[in-house]
Amino acid sequence: MRLEQLQAFLAIAQTGSFQQAAKKCGVTQSTISRQIQALEADLGVELFHRTSHAKLTLGGEHLLPRVRKICQEWESATQELADLIAGKQPELCVAAIHSVCAFYLPPILQKFCHDYSEVQLRVTSLGSDRALKVLKDGLVDLAIVMNNRFLTTGREMVVEVLYDEPIEVLTAANHPLAQYEFIPWSELIRYPQVVFKDGYGMQRLIQDKFERMEAKLQAALEVNTLDAFRGVVRQGELIALLPHSALVEARYDPTLAVRALACNNTAALTDTSSLTRRVVMVTTQDRLQIPPIKHFWQLVRENLPPKLDEVRSAS
């Protein structure tokens, strides 16, 4: 049973004529006849009385509402796909890490909404691992995350490197480490830290760094928002290792201090090179063919990360 056979059956039922049905379907009358014969052979029942006027048999009458529904569903599906390819999708869903959502994305979101006012833009702030999972599950169209090559590999994946940024130290303004311009790792490891919860790329990056140094990470508290990091560190005891983009507000807070990490080597610590993270944008090949998604992708490529003065004005 083929779709064109069902369409031919419906056209005959609507026009009452094999000849008129052929014109409606844009084929010859002999083609319509063969399609109906094949359909009747598949079903094992005659569908029309062959008279001057094609009249449905009892079997045809029972089949008609089912075929009408199938053809309507097919028309709706093809129209939706045509609209999708033409960029007429109802919404665009983005998942991004917290620091990008807070400081880098807002101007891009505003520009996209202006360019595609008919598309509902939905943005969710998530950790990298979770953002990539919802992308793979088809719940979002695009993710901006900390790179994880184990989660972004696959022939269908498209990965755009956006920027690399240093990891810096957040402390209270009166914390002992705040006296340093560049904090030595030998001093840093002495203090308890507030870290991201499990499942966040930053938590894994820092843990791996300490393991390579054969040092113990004193993870005293786990949180998952930038406000929580600032609030906890502000109390004076705990410190945090955070990416540069997550520290925009902290730089203008007199109760907090942001310091770079030193890159000197010591006998006790064999791996004290600077610590960085890579931020990437990820989608799939098929999604990148859709005009609104492609346009958002291009906006991010051209504008992220923004210039320093743009970040200051946004904050």
CA nearest neighbour of 290 among 5, 87, 133, 6: 87
Q: Is the pLDDT of residue 200 over 90?
A: no
| Radius of gyration in angstroms for the set of CA atoms belonging to the chain, rounded to a whole number | 31
Sign of the C-alpha dihedral computed for residues 89, 95, 99 and 101 taken in this order: positive
Sign of the C-alpha dihedral computed for residues 112, 118, 119 and 124 taken in this order: positive
- Listed in sequence order, the residues at least 6 apart from 35 whose beta carbon sits closer than 8 Å to its beta carbon are 2, 4, 5, 8, 9
Two domains, one topology: 3-85 and 91-162+279-314: no
Q: Is the pLDDT of residue 312 over 70?
A: no
- pLDDT tens profile 214-253: 999 999 999 989 999 999 999 999 999 999 999 999 999 9
Does the pTM surpass 0.85? The reply is no
CA 41 to chain centre: 48
CA 71 to chain centre: 33
Long-range contact pairs involving 109-118 (C-beta distance under 8 Å, separation at least 24): 111/299, 111/303, 112/292, 112/295, 112/296, 112/299, 115/295, 116/87, 116/92, 116/292, 116/295, 118/88
- pLDDT tens profile 167-192: 999 999 999 999 999 999 999 999 99
Q: Is the pLDDT of residue 264 over 70?
A: no
- Comparing 64-68, 199-203, 252-256, the range with the smallest average pLDDT is 199-203
- pLDDT tens profile 276-299: 999 999 999 999 988 999 999 999
Q: Which fold has domain 91-162+279-314?
A: D-Maltodextrin-Binding Protein; domain 2 (3.40.190)
- Dist. CA 194–CA 177, nearest whole Å: 15
- Dist. CA 306–CA 303, nearest whole Å: 6
- Mean pLDDT over 57-82 rounds to 86
Architecture category of domain 164-277 in CATH = 3-Layer(aba) Sandwich (3.40)
- pLDDT tens profile 83-105: 667 666 789 999 999 989 988 99
Domain ranges, ordered by start, for the chain: 3-85, 91-162+279-314, 164-277
CATH 1.10.10.10 fits 3-85, yes or no: yes
Structure tokens at 63: 């089949």
